[in-house]
Copies of this chain bind each other. A is one copy, B any other.
Amino acid sequence: MKRAAIIGVTGAVGQEFVVALNKHPWFEVKQIAASERSAKKKFVDAIRDPNSGILKWHLREPIPEYARDMIVESVDDIKTDNLDLIFSSVESEAAREIETRFAKDVPVISTSSAYRYDEDVPILIPGINDDHVMLLDTQRKNRTWKGFIAPLPNCTTTGLAITMKPLLDKFGAQKIIMTSMQSMSGAGRSPGVSALDITDNIIPYIPKEDEKVRIETGKILGKLVDGKIDPAKLKVSCTCTRVPVIDGHTETVFVETAVHTDPESVKKAMQEFSNKVSVTGLPSAPKEYLLVHDDPTRPQPRLDREINDGMTTVVGRIRDDTVFDNGIKYVLFSHNEKMGSAKGAVLLAEMLYKKGYI
């Protein structure tokens, strides 16, 4: 068993880590950490709001037994001596400093954006750009670290990159226009979205989100050339919004491909990609990596977040687009707290373990 720690354990993503690592066959949680405020408390006490008395646990699964009474450490007290890897979901500006400190000793799988845009840091989606893993060697060398930092993309990028990969491979995607309708859990839990802001409402703006998606999509779908990532020649434009949905991001996508295609071929490309995806068989990998609905009323967050515990990217409404020269449009659904963050990070760790990086 590899010995793991969860950093930022009291937050939204941290809690998902707690669940995603419950009874994991390869990784065992040995330490959990959060900010000074939570330190020395039992996990179950650390996540209770002191004013309202409400347990800030919003996952459907109950708190796993192993974590319930585990003592939350201050991040500063985490010892890397007896750790094989760290899952980090630190969201504050402190992320860069904290992750740097740990990466000197041990691999860090991160959901934060702190390191995503560094040249020797790949943004990894297991199954999509596994070859970028090689950049971790460069990173180690450059920085003379024993560990490394392997970040996931922003949760809004995940579904877009996953669905675009087969289109890019097969039809040469060139332009993407995307509108996201993002769930409230994507905004964290402390305090998270206020009910007064979002009930019966839409917030058409999420700070920095449009840019993150644009840059990350190109990097993830890029090629490794001479040890560096050459971003995909993709123009991406998006508008990211927040809607009154608890879990799971919905995105409408309009794509221009290099060669002409049609909805049936796109569906087939996605299904074939899904059938042959590299991660099949890993403990956290879903039965279907990509699922395409014919029912035009799908994907729907309430129904599609249930599929394969949120690890499947779901697509529907594939149609010809009437604006682009070779245009295709579709709607996708991706679970922002499962494949899009914590459980996706565990899947990444599984892939890195198999490849000998952990």
Most chain B Cβ neighbours within 10 Å, of A179, A195, A199, A306: A195
Determine how close the nearest CB of chain B comes to the CB of A256; give it in whole angstroms: 8
Q: A58–B314 Cα gap in the complex (Å)?
A: 18
**Known contacts A194-B192, A201-B301; is-contact A244 B244 (Cβ 8 Å):** yes
- Contact (Cβ within 8 A) A244 B245: yes
- Contact (Cβ within 8 A) A246 B323: no
- Contact (Cβ within 8 A) B237 A196: no
Determine how close the nearest CB of chain B comes to the CB of A221; give it in whole angstroms: 15
**B-contact 0/1 string along A106-142, CB 8 Å cutoff:** 0000000000000000000000000000000000000
Any chain B CB within 8 A of the CB of A30? no
- Contact (Cβ within 8 A) A246 B177: no
Q: A331–B202 Cα gap in the complex (Å)?
A: 11
Give the residues in chain B near A321, CB-CB below 8 Å. 177, 237
Q: A207–B50 Cα gap in the complex (Å)?
A: 10
Any chain B CB within 8 A of the CB of A281? no
Give the residues in chain B near A306, CB-CB below 8 Å. 60-62
Bin chain A's interface residue count: 35 or more
**Known contacts A205-B297, A322-B236; is-contact A199 B197 (Cβ 8 Å):** no
- Contact (Cβ within 8 A) A200 B252: no
Any chain B CB within 8 A of the CB of A302? yes
- Contact (Cβ within 8 A) A200 B55: no
**B-contact 0/1 string along A238-265, CB 8 Å cutoff:** 0101011110001010100000000000
Protomer copies: 4
- Contact (Cβ within 8 A) A202 B53: no
Residue of B whose beta carbon sits closest to that of A174: B323
Chain A 1-56 interface residues, beta-carbon cutoff 8 Å to B: 51-56
**Known contacts A199-B195, A202-B301, A205-B53; is-contact A322 B252 (Cβ 8 Å):** no
Residue of B whose beta carbon sits closest to that of A204: B331
Chain A 180-235 interface residues, beta-carbon cutoff 8 Å to B: 181, 184-185, 187, 189, 191-207, 214, 235
Give the residues in chain B near A324, CB-CB below 8 Å. 237
Any chain B CB within 8 A of the CB of A165? no
- 7 additional A-B pairs beyond A53-B207, A194-B194, beta carbons within 8 Å, are A53-B205, A61-B306, A177-B323, A191-B191, A201-B303, A203-B297, A239-B317
Interface residues of chain A, those whose CB is within 8 Å of chain B, are: 51-58, 60-62, 175-177, 179, 181, 184-185, 187, 189, 191-207, 214, 235-237, 239, 241, 243-246, 250, 252, 254, 295-303, 306-307, 316-317, 321-324, 327, 329, 331
Q: List 18 A-B contacts (CB under 8 A).
A: A54-B197, A54-B203, A56-B197, A58-B302, A61-B306, A177-B254, A194-B194, A195-B199, A196-B246, A199-B244, A200-B244, A201-B302, A203-B297, A203-B300, A205-B296, A237-B321, A239-B331, A241-B252
